Amino acid sequence: MVIRVPDRGRVALWDELTAKPGDLGLPAGQVTITLNGR
């Protein structure tokens, strides 16, 4: 899973992901690694 967003859009995307991790079917930790690892 690759997520690419502008720096200023990353915060909004992060809020959506952390707010609804269950909807994506991913643990919050995996989302964190994906965003940080780019």
Q: Where are the domains of the chain?
A: 7-37
User: Could you tell me which residue, 10 or 38, shows the higher pLDDT?
Assistant: 10
- Residue in the structure block whose two tokens are 């909004």: 12
Distance CA 9, CA 22 (A): 21
- Per-residue pLDDT for 33 more than 60? no
C-alpha distances (whole Å) from 4 to each of 7, 9 are: 9, 10
Q: What is the pLDDT of residues 5-32, one digit of tens each?
A: 555 556 666 666 665 555 555 555 556 6
pLDDT of residue 2: 65
pLDDT of residue 7: 59
Half-sphere exposure of 35 (CA within 13 A, CB side): 20
**Predicted TM-score (pTM) above 0.85:** no
pLDDT of residue 30: 59
